[in-house]
Amino acid sequence: MPALALSSEQQRELYQLLETVRHLDLSAIAWQRQGIIPGYAPERGQEAAQVGSAYAMNRELDFIFPTYRELGVARAWGVDMVAYMSTHKASWHGGLYDPVASRFAPIQAVVGGSVLHAVGWAHGQTLNGPLNTSTDEPQPSGKYGVAISYFGDGASSQGDVHEAMNFASVFKAPVIFFVQNNGWAISVPTDRQVAGGSVAARAAGYGMPTIQVDGNDIEAVYAATSAARTHAASGQGPVLIEAMTYRRGPHSTSDDPGRYRSLDEERSEAGQDPVDRYAEKLQAAGVVDQTFLANALSNAQDEEEQVRAGVIALGSRPGQEMFDFVYAEPTAELKAQAASWREESEHV
């Protein structure tokens, strides 16, 4: 793994992102309890894995394929948070941001679905040919843009994911398979659904390099993802990163973890909180002080208020739109469904 080249300024930026994401995530649970949004999938405990990995990607060249639990990735990548939360407000499937302009695919609730999309996009990069072929200058960012596919330990047991990994390796697609192993697939612990000891061990069978990293150490995640990006962008094919972390909260706002794990287990298995841990590290290194930390908290609170107001103001979308973006050219069957829906719900 290359030596870390994070400046103090970047370290402070990373900490601010962690603090912001922590606050938005906790607020989203409160908004659900207050009836502002009907549901949410918390990511408490996974902030370092999410922010550290997104921070290592190239905003101009790369493309992110998230699941339903990627608020931290989205925020670190610069996706508009109100548009992101529209999925959780149920005003729009997949988020109201522009996926192409933001290089962040629609939020994906089909477990394993984002993996197929990422490999397809990455394969497209190689079919299009290397970047900037018109110049002989060495390209610092590599030959190709890189897709990063986020998925969970549970998703790694889906057939689609194995087909995607095999295909990517055979065709040397520039894609990073970023697994957040948070210990759980809803109520099923990892050791009850991942054979072979680890997700990383399985990827070796597809002939790709793997990195297992402490997912609660933001700088380790950043370093692992940077190394994986360099590998994939240079045309050497995919890499799998297994970020070992812990889902500190419920699976979603409709889940009650007390039915399948005890508080004692949560406390002993979660390890040190990734946000506190980074604050301690940066304080010990003299990169941040109490004033910086207090400002970071107040910035996070200000942003949380702005996003809350934006989410409250989000209106519903016209129902007809659910038929509009299924295919570029609607099929006769879809048109008939849309007509029947209009007749029943809008009486036209």
Ligand X SMILES: Cc1ncc(C[n+]2csc(CCOP(=O)(O)OP(=O)(O)O)c2C)c(N)n1
Q: What amino acid positions are annotated as catalytic residues?
A: 247, 251, 260
Residue closest to ligand X (Cβ): 152
Q: Which of 153, 219, 242, 303 binds Mg ion (CB under 5 A)?
A: 153
Show the binding pattern over residues 82-121: x = contacts Mg ion (CB under 5 A), - = does not.
Answer: ----------------------------------------
Taking the complex as a whole, the smallest distance from the CB of residue 314 to Mg ion amounts, in Å, to: 29
Taking the complex as a whole, the smallest distance from the CB of residue 53 to Mg ion amounts, in Å, to: 15
- Return the sign of the alpha-carbon dihedral for residues 236, 238, 242, 243: positive
Residue 175 has phi, psi (to 5 degrees) of -140, 140
CB nearer to ligand X: give 178 or 206: 178
Taking the complex as a whole, the smallest distance from the CB of residue 242 to ligand X amounts, in Å, to: 12
Q: Which of 66, 112, 113, 152 binds Mg ion (CB under 5 A)?
A: 152
3-state secondary structure string across 191-260: HHCCCCCCHHHHHHCCCCCEEEEECCCHHHHHHHHHHHHHHHHCCCCCEEEEEECCCCCCCCCCCCHHHC
Counting Cβ atoms within 10 Å, is residue 321 exposed (0-12), middle (13-18) or buried (19+)?
exposed
Cα(127)–Cα(114) distance, integer angstroms: 20
- Return the sign of the alpha-carbon dihedral for residues 14, 116, 97, 109: negative
Bridge partner residues of 147 (DSSP): 63, 175
Q: Does 217 bind Mg ion (CB under 5 A)?
A: no
Q: Does 226 bind Mg ion (CB under 5 A)?
A: no
Cα(37)–Cα(58) distance, integer angstroms: 32
Interface residues toward ligand X, by CB under 6 A: 69, 109-111, 151-155, 182, 184-186, 247, 251
CB nearer to Mg ion: give 22 or 247: 247
Q: Which of 112, 93, 4 is nearest to 52 (CA)?
A: 4
Which of the residues 177 through 216 are near Mg ion (CB under 5 A)? 182, 185
Taking the complex as a whole, the smallest distance from the CB of residue 274 to ligand X amounts, in Å, to: 16
Residue 150 has phi, psi (to 5 degrees) of -90, 135
Taking the complex as a whole, the smallest distance from the CB of residue 283 to ligand X amounts, in Å, to: 30
CB nearer to ligand X: give 98 or 269: 269
Beta sheet of 63-65, edge-to-edge order: 63-65, 147-152, 175-181, 239-244, 210-214
CB nearer to ligand X: give 120 or 235: 120
CB under 5 A: which stretch of 15-23, 27-35, 148-156, 165-173 binds Mg ion?
Answer: 148-156
Summarize as ranges the residues that interact with Mg ion (CB under 5 A).
152-154, 182, 185
